[in-house]
């Protein structure tokens, strides 16, 4: 309608071309509650995309915590305040014992940026190994090993990329062997160019690479390789962290590996901007005193209150377990659909982090990005929000809030079936 067109025109004029919107006919949202989002006309949409509002939109416990703290005090971390200490204790208690210290930033990009700085300082190396289509953030240092940014960035001369393990096209044995071998080859190549490896950084469920979750344990040979080479392993948990995988609070736990640093963000404040690194104290023993680390907003009292409310809620509401249980149920429903519709080539993931690969030819596993776009649009018409990812944008990205119910899962599966039937 006219009002919406006018808003889009104003937006384009003032924000410019970098701010792209989802959907040909953009969604004009005004409110969120639980697993639902509401548009300006009062239409209700099931949110199966948003892994920031992990507790559901506008969760009352987080709203209350932020509101309470906003009215009392907000300041940076150079004054003594209980909030950040309480929060850091609660947060690190969810990690294996060795990962016992935390540093706070505002975004996942900053967390990864700080992780690179620490890794380079600690190892004396500069080399970085990441995956072919990774996204680790927007700062210049991090963009250098975020190939998914495409032509807007140039990979750094000290960066090597390896293929993320494609569980649709390789067997578990092949992948486990291949990923370790590829990382060893990347290390050897860095050395041939006189570059000492500083770190291997990977998602622990590969997100922009195509939502590959397994096989469990496949990271181990690669992590062993970087450690033998004197580098650190950084687990990027910005997407799979905080219970989303259902099987564990943190994705790396599914692989039996010990990261040196874990970067976290997105659902950490259920929408309040906060992120950080959890690390082994040995890693920053030297760096810390010389770092002069300061972040104006990172770890402030409001962030600490929001973060604490999020962790409390995950525990009180049993959300990790719900992610496991409803995730399995949803995955079964999606797999059942794939029996009827050969366009669904693969259903994969863990907990409520699910990818559905859409193919033109099931035998050849040929990606169908056009059909994928039509499915995403078809679901939107049926008031369900998801997105697509992967090298060919042909993988449905399903990451609903962790409070998703079986009934919500049914809504999604039924709507997807309906779209596939009519498309």
Task: Tell me phi and psi for residue 129, to 5 degrees.
Answer: -120, 130
- Nearest residue (CB) to ligand PMP, 83 versus 137: 137
Of the listed pieces 136-144, 174-182, 247-255, 391-399, which binds ligand PMP according to CB under 6 A? 136-144
Half-sphere exposure (CA, 13 Å, Cβ side) for 417? 15
Of the listed pieces 133-141, 185-193, 218-226, 282-290, which binds ligand PMP according to CB under 6 A? 133-141
Check binding of 390 to ligand PMP (CB under 6 A): no
Check binding of 207 to ligand PMP (CB under 6 A): yes
> What are 325's two structure tokens?
């249980």
Q: Sort strands 353-361 and 366-367 into parallel, antiparallel or unpaired.
A: antiparallel
- Nearest residue (CB) to ligand PMP, 148 versus 408: 148
* Minimum distance from residue 112 beta carbon to ligand PMP (Å): 6
* Minimum distance from residue 110 beta carbon to ligand PMP (Å): 7
Distance from C-alpha of 333 to C-alpha of 356, rounded to nearest angstrom? 12
User: Measured at CB, which residue is nearest to ligand PMP?
Assistant: 108
Please name which of 178, 164, 141, 249 lies closest in space to residue 212, comparing C-alpha atoms: 164
Task: Tell me phi and psi for residue 299, to 5 degrees.
Answer: 70, 20
Helices (H), 235-368: 281-284, 287-291, 301-316, 319-340
- Nearest residue (CB) to ligand PMP, 141 versus 415: 141
- Nearest residue (CB) to ligand PMP, 166 versus 236: 236
Check binding of 135 to ligand PMP (CB under 6 A): yes
Q: Is the peptide bond before 215 cis (omega within 30 degrees of 0)?
A: yes
Check binding of 265 to ligand PMP (CB under 6 A): yes
* Minimum distance from residue 341 beta carbon to ligand PMP (Å): 29
- Nearest residue (CB) to ligand PMP, 113 versus 346: 113
The sign of the dihedral angle between the CA atoms of 186, 188, 193, 194 is: positive
Check binding of 236 to ligand PMP (CB under 6 A): yes
Check binding of 203 to ligand PMP (CB under 6 A): yes
Check binding of 205 to ligand PMP (CB under 6 A): no
Check binding of 209 to ligand PMP (CB under 6 A): no
Check binding of 238 to ligand PMP (CB under 6 A): yes
Contacting residue, 32, 56, 127, 137, with ligand PMP by CB under 6 A: 137
Cα dihedral 142/146/150/156 (nearest 10):
60
| Sheet hosting strand 197-203, strand order edge to edge | 101-105, 275-279, 261-264, 232-236, 197-203, 127-131, 159-162
Check binding of 275 to ligand PMP (CB under 6 A): yes
- Nearest residue (CB) to ligand PMP, 265 versus 271: 265
Distance from C-alpha of 13 to C-alpha of 6, rounded to nearest angstrom? 11
One DSSP character per residue, 153-184 reads ----TTEEEEPPP-TTTS-HHHHHHHHHHHHH
Contacting residue, 50, 167, 239, 245, with ligand PMP by CB under 6 A: 239
Contact at 8 Å (CB) between 215 and 118? no
* Minimum distance from residue 139 beta carbon to ligand PMP (Å): 8
Query: In angstroms, how far is the first alpha carbon of the chain from the final one?
Result: 26
Of the listed pieces 3-11, 14-22, 134-142, 326-334, which binds ligand PMP according to CB under 6 A? 134-142
> What are 54's two structure tokens?
């992990």
Alpha carbon 46 to chain centroid distance?
A: 20
Contact at 8 Å (CB) between 55 and 243? no
- Nearest residue (CB) to ligand PMP, 50 versus 408: 50
- Nearest residue (CB) to ligand PMP, 144 versus 236: 236
- Nearest residue (CB) to ligand PMP, 87 versus 135: 135
Of the listed pieces 16-24, 54-62, 102-110, 192-200, which binds ligand PMP according to CB under 6 A? 102-110
Total residues binding ligand PMP (CB under 6 A): 15
Contacting residues toward ligand PMP, per CB under 6 A: 107-109, 112, 135-138, 203, 207, 236, 238-239, 265, 275
């Amino acid at each position: 309608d006219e009002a919406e067109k006018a808003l889009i025109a104003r937006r384009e004029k003032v924000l410019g071309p970098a701010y792209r919107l989802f959907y040909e006919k953009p969604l004009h949202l005004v409110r969120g509650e639980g697993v639902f989002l509401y548009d300006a006309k009062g239409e209700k949409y099931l949110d199966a995309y948003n892994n920031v509002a992990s507790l559901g939109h506008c969760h009352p416990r987080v709203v209350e915590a932020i509101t309470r703290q906003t009215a009392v005090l907000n300041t940076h971390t150079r004054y003594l305040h209980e909030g950040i200490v309480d929060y850091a204790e609660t947060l690190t208690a969810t990690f294996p014992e060795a990962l016992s210290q935390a540093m706070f930033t505002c975004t996942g990009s900053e967390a990864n940026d700080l992780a690179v700085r620490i890794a380079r300082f600690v190892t004396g190396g500069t080399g970085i190994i990441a995956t072919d289509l990774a996204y680790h953030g927007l700062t210049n240092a991090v963009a250098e090993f975020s190939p998914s940014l495409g032509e807007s960035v140039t990979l750094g001369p000290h960066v090597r990329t390896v293929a993320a393990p494609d569980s649709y096209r390789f067997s578990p044995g092949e992948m486990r062997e291949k990923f370790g071998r590829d990382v060893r080859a990347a290390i050897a190549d860095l050395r041939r160019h006189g570059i000492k490896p500083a770190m291997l950084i990977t998602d622990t469920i590969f997100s922009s690479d195509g939502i590959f979750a397994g096989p469990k344990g496949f990271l181990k040979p690669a992590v062993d390789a970087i450690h033998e080479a004197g580098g650190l392993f950084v687990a990027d948990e910005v997407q799979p962290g905080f219970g989303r995988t259902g099987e564990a609070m943190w994705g790396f736990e599914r692989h039996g590996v010990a990261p040196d640093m874990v970067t976290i963000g997105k659902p950490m404040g259920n929408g309040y901007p906060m992120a950080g690194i959890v690390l082994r104290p040995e890693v920053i023993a030297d760096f810390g005193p010389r770092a002069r680390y300061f972040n104006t907003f990172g770890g402030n009292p409001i962030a600490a209150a929001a973060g604490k409310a999020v962790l409390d809620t995950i525990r009180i509401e049993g959300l990790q377990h719900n992610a496991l249980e409803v995730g399995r149920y949803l995955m079964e429903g999606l797999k059942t659909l794939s029996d009827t519709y050969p366009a669904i080539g693969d259903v994969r993931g863990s907990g409520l982090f699910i990818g559905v690969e859409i193919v033109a030819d099931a035998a050849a596993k040929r990606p169908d990005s056009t059909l994928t776009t039509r499915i995403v649009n078809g679901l939107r018409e049926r008031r369900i929000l998801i997105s697509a990812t992967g090298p060919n944008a042909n993988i449905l990205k399903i990451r609903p809030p962790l409070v998703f119910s079986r009934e919500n899962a049914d809504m999604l599966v039924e709507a997807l079936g309906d779209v596939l039937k009519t498309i």
